[in-house]
Amino acid sequence: MIARPSSIVALAVSAVTPIALLIAAYALFVGHNQPGGGFAAGLLLGAVVVLRTVAGLQEPKYAAVLLAIGGVIVGVDALSPLLWGEPLLDQFVVSWNVPVLGTVKTGSALVFDLGVVAVVVGLVTALLEGFGASDLAESGRTPTDSQIEAGR
Amino acid sequence: MIWFLLALFVIAVLVIAVSGSRLGRSSLWVAAVPMAATALWSVTLLGSDEVVEAGFSWVPGLDLEILFRVDGLRAVLSLLVAGIGALVCVYAVGYFSPAAAGMGKFAATLLSFSLAMVGLVWADSVWTLFVFWEATSITSFLLVGFKNTDPVARTAARRALVITASGGLALLAGFVLFVDAAGTSVLSDITPVTGSTATAAAILILVAAATKSAQVPFHVWLPGAMAAPTPVSAYLHSATMVKAGVILVALIAPAFQDTDVWKPLGLTFGLVTMIWGSVGALRHVDAKLILAWGTVSQLGLLITLLAMGTPKATFAAISILVAHAVFKAALFMVVGEVDVRAGTRNINELSGLRRSMPITFGVAVVSGLSMAGIPPLLGFPTKEAAIEAVLGLADTELLVVAGLVIGGAVLTVAYTTRLLLGMFGGSAPMADRVVAPRRSAMSAPQVVLAVGSVVGFVALGRVSDVVRTASVIVEPDAVVYTLYRWPGLTDAFITSMIVVVLGLTLGGLLARRTVLTGPAAHGAAIADTVIDSIGRAARGIAGVVQHGSLPLYLATMIVTVAAASAAFVGEIDTDALYWWDNRAEAVLVVMIVTAAVAATVVSSRLGAALVLGAVGFSMAGLFVALGAPDLVLTQLLVETVIVVGFVLGLGRLATKFPKPTRLWLVGRTAVSVVIGAAIAVALAGAASSPTGQPPIAELAESAVDVGGGNNVVNVILTDTRALDTLGEVIVLLAVGVGILTLTRRRTRAVGPAETPSIDLPPTDSDPRSVAAEVSP
């Protein structure tokens, strides 16, 4: 049933994708002041990846790359305050004026959150990749239980 | 300057790591640069009272600091570490053939070791010291096992690692207790501590030092480590790695002088090691093993002197530490050159090398005589100082300690004589051995060190000042002592002349004989048996604990959590509990319970997934009712991803669950009820007796002030408690990497055309090879 996705599902998912991306970006940026944040944004993007995989629009890949990028971002953000003598994970806040949005106050926590996003998306992708969703999306064939047993 | 030099080390390691394969042996020259720079800087600090400090607070909340301090003592030590390191790099250029493989890796590892060692001697916080201590264990493991296709080298490397790493664990425990007892983790601030905690710390730290500095019975790794290439031995096993334990004892001795165990335990380790090491040196015919056992013996002497704790003994220990590094590194280089050029290290096969290798012979004589403590060489005044220190003892101590130290000195002279006669004596030309031509890269560093032994004696006044400045750091009362070129006809001088005569006689008699030859590597065999059984036990435990049954894993975790929450039962105060804030909660709870019960009875997999989803979404509703929008958002998203994921997976499974057995059904239900009840009890218990004010006000305030955000929950995640989030991110990363590696390996292993991706070392006949450990 999932293996041969209907074109209606595919169309719906591809229509929803940009909206979901926008919401994810919104959740990431407002996270500091309203519900949202890196974890939520990452999950939203993860849900997009899962839906697109199920709909047969793409196969999950780059899990390792995403995990690595996320790990590096978080690690660098965590360690960099040490360079100017601040404690580990200390964050600095900057605020500047953006024409349309007014005064935007943000900080290195946003960078940290970006790393969290990458890690969460990477993990979801890794789950899909690891558990063989790619053959599903690719060939549309459903392995039987016995095949799965044999592969174990 | 400290940061600059450490950065220079790191940069050089990176340069070699990136381009080592192209540079080949030249990477050793790159490796020599930071070492030489460090040595030169250390020279400028020798003998001065100047103290250079550097450091930063890493996690202030946990008192974790990285601290370095270079004073008179540490300048001497880093001069030895970096100076001999640079010489060893030059020597290695000659030692390895131009075609030798893996030179980049070798140079990078050697340099990393050197960095770890420099960090260790400069460390001023016990935690910094511990980190570098462990780093030396790991890098020395890699260096000893450099010939990783050789099973002997691998076994030796593993033995060294297991013994020194166990010592590392003891050290960690010892430091924790020490910091608890002393109230400081800064080495330069320590004051004498007493009490049972201090006693335990003293024992643990001494044991750690004993493992690193090859004290009996932990010495078994050192002779085995001779399987390493000789430059490694010349570096690690003369001046650096094995001295780490001695350095630790010297630095921390002032804290433990007053505990009951420190002195007797230290003296026992030291004296037994000193005698057993020199006996070992007389037993072997392999010149390198003679040196290794000789090192064991000298380390015993150093620990003995430091454990005595008198100012004179400390002064003697520091001076011997310097002299030993200089002559022992030179002797290892001599043996390595003999090995390379004559093709053997067996003193029964070598003969008459004094004619074919004159320069090496000269170096060997100078350094050997320095080791034997014969004037006019640096070894002489330092040994005088040691004998004088032990003769200054009284009563039983005089009898035992002085007797053994003097006996050890006799044996030292004896094995030195035997080594020199064995390698260079004799006139018979060696059968079927051609001595290869000299390589100046090998000769130059030896000559430098040999000249060092001579110049050290000529300029003894300067050496004495430097040693005094260094000793004062450990023992302020050592300020009155000096090394003498000509002490006059003192008791110590007469004793040491008797020692020399006896030793020469004994050595001459034993040359080319192995009267004492016993089971050669008995201790090593025992160590290997122990290590093997540790491995077997670990595999056995893993086999029982990691049984592979997911339901059993879950049940184990749940029962453990439930048992832990049993303690909360007594805390529950029924008066403080109430049913709900808001009736919607009750409705939602009913929904959750219904869905949860349905999940246990539903027979189709899709149904189960949907019912679980219902639990999750109702939970999100509950969070709405409780006013936690962040939790709602996260819960909804998690549930969405999980349900879609389930549906995705269900495509690959049969639509219905297999028919459960009765036991399975009952067991599952029981476990579910237990965990539910346990969590409820724990929460009720925690909610019954709140203490203090809820931290909400404080958190909300700091969220705006410090974190710069109005969403308190997220500011907690990214700022206030960001360390927790960092930990969670690391967990996620580990899970992701785990999934990828496990599933990729499986797909590749079942794929018909591809080879297994597990990286096994080349198989060999060694039953203890890594291959045995991979198989279940």
DSSP letter at B511?
Answer: T
* One domain, residues B507 and B552: no
Residue A135, pLDDT above cutoff 70: no
Q: Which of B395-399, B451-455, B487-491, B693-697 is modeled with the greatest confidence?
A: B451-455
Reported confidence tier of residue A89, pLDDT bands at 50, 70, 90: low
Give the whole-angstrom CA distance, residue B744 versus residue B738.
10
Contacting residues of A for B743, CB less than 8 Å apart? 129-132
pLDDT digits (tens, 9 = 90+) for B606-637: 888 889 999 999 999 999 988 888 889 889 98
* One domain, residues B388 and B431: yes
Q: What's the domain count of chain B?
A: 3
pLDDT digits (tens, 9 = 90+) for B397-430: 888 888 899 999 999 999 999 888 888 887 766 6
Output the pLDDT for position B432: 58
Could A31 and B723 be called an inter-chain contact, meaning their C-beta atoms sit closer than 8 Å?
A: no
Q: Does residue B706 lie in a domain region?
A: yes
Give the whole-angstrom CA distance, residue B529 versus residue B162.
12
CATH number at residue B616: 1.20.120
Give the whole-angstrom CA distance, residue B277 versus residue B214.
10
* B428 has a chain A CB within 8 A of its CB: no
- Domain closes at, from B497, B514, B531: B514
Output the pLDDT for position B36: 94
Residue B364, token pair as written in the block: 């060997």
* One domain, residues B335 and B347: yes
DSSP calls for B227-243:
GS-HHHHHHHTTTSTTH
* One domain, residues B630 and B759: no
- Out of B56, B707, B729, closest to residue A82 by CB: B56
Q: Does residue B474 lie in a domain region?
A: yes
- Out of B644, B653, B711, closest to residue A50 by CB: B644
Could A89 and B723 be called an inter-chain contact, meaning their C-beta atoms sit closer than 8 Å?
A: yes
- A–B CB contacts, 8 A cutoff, strictly below: 176
DSSP letter at B377?
Answer: S
* One domain, residues B682 and B727: no
pLDDT digits (tens, 9 = 90+) for B701-753: 777 777 667 777 777 777 777 788 888 889 999 998 888 888 775 544 444 44
What is the pTM (predicted TM-score) of this model? 0.74
Residue in B closest to A144 by C-alpha: B652
A57-66: b (≥16 Cβ within 10 Å) or e: bebbeebbeb
Average pLDDT over residues B303-312: 90
Output the pLDDT for position B510: 79
* One domain, residues B467 and B323: yes
- Domain closes at, from B667, B690, B713: B690
* B727 has a chain A CB within 8 A of its CB: no
* One domain, residues B678 and B715: no
* One domain, residues B330 and B473: yes
Q: Does residue B68 lie in a domain region?
A: no
Phi, psi values for residue B439, rounded to 5°: -115, 125
Among B166, B188, B184, B163, residue whose Cα is nearest residue B175 = B184
Task: Determine the distance in angstroms separating the CA of A44 from the nearest CA of chain B, rounded to an integer.
Answer: 7
Residue B44, token pair as written in the block: 């400028």
Residue A149, pLDDT above cutoff 70: no
DSSP calls for B26-43:
GHHHHHHHHHHHHHHHHH
* One domain, residues B604 and B495: no
Lowest mean pLDDT across A2-11, B211-220, B307-316, B641-650: A2-11
Cα-based distances in Å from B165 to B210, B218, B405, B630: 12, 12, 30, 45
Rg, C-alpha atoms of chain A = 19
pLDDT digits (tens, 9 = 90+) for B495-529: 888 989 998 888 888 776 665 555 455 677 888 88
Q: What angle do CA A59, A62, A65 make, to 5 degrees?
A: 170
Q: Does residue B531 lie in a domain region?
A: no
Q: Does residue B684 lie in a domain region?
A: yes
Which alpha helices (DSSP H) does B428-565 contain, by range? 440-458, 460-474, 491-510, 522-545, 550-565
Could A131 and B651 be called an inter-chain contact, meaning their C-beta atoms sit closer than 8 Å?
A: no
Listed in sequence order, the residues at least 6 apart from A43 whose beta carbon sits closer than 8 Å to its beta carbon are A120, A124, B634, B637, B638, B640, B641
Chain-centre distance for alpha carbon B555: 38
Could A37 and B718 be called an inter-chain contact, meaning their C-beta atoms sit closer than 8 Å?
A: yes
Percent of chain B with pLDDT over 70: 93
Among B232, B226, B452, residue whose Cα is nearest residue B326 = B452
Q: How many CA atoms lie within 13 A of B297 on its CB side?
A: 30
Among B683, B677, B670, B681, residue whose Cα is nearest residue B554 = B670
Listed in sequence order, the residues at least 6 apart from B405 whose beta carbon sits closer than 8 Å to its beta carbon are B271, B274, B301, B304, B386, B387, B390
* One domain, residues B739 and B600: no
Residue B139, pLDDT above cutoff 90: yes
pLDDT digits (tens, 9 = 90+) for B663-702: 888 888 888 889 989 998 888 888 887 777 777 777 887 7
Cα-based distances in Å from B739 to A129, B193, B552, B733: 9, 50, 20, 10
Residue in A closest to B743 by C-alpha: A130
- Out of B632, B730, B736, closest to residue A126 by CB: B736
Give the whole-angstrom CA distance, residue B281 versus residue B283.
5
Residue of A49, A69, A91 to mutate when probing chain B, most B C-beta within 10 A: A91
Listed by start position, the domains of chain A span 7-142
Which residue segment(s) compose the domain that B281 sits in?
A: 274-286+300-514
Which alpha helices (DSSP H) does B123-242 contain, by range? 126-144, 151-182, 196-212, 221-224, 230-236
Residue B58, pLDDT above cutoff 80: no
Could A40 and B708 be called an inter-chain contact, meaning their C-beta atoms sit closer than 8 Å?
A: no
Task: Determine the distance in angstroms separating the CA of A11 from the nearest CA of chain B, rounded to an integer.
Answer: 17
Give the whole-angstrom CA distance, residue B181 versus residue B195.
8
Q: Does residue B390 lie in a domain region?
A: yes
Lowest mean pLDDT across B35-44, B269-278, B580-589, B639-648: B639-648
Output the pLDDT for position B188: 85
Task: Name the burial class of residue A44, with classes exposed (0-12), middle (13-18) and buried (19+) by CB atoms within 10 angstroms of its CB.
Answer: buried
* One domain, residues B317 and B401: yes
B414-430: b (≥16 Cβ within 10 Å) or e: bbbbbbbbbbbbbeeeb
Q: Does residue B434 lie in a domain region?
A: yes
Give the whole-angstrom CA distance, residue B14 versus residue B33.
13
* One domain, residues B683 and B703: no
Q: What angle do CA B507, B512, B516 make, to 5 degrees?
A: 75
pLDDT digits (tens, 9 = 90+) for B120-132: 999 999 999 999 9
Could A35 and B711 be called an inter-chain contact, meaning their C-beta atoms sit closer than 8 Å?
A: yes
Q: What share of chain B is helix, strand, coil (3-state, %, to 5)?
A: 75, 5, 20
Residue in A closest to B55 by C-alpha: A85
Residue B374, pLDDT above cutoff 60: yes
Output the pLDDT for position A104: 61
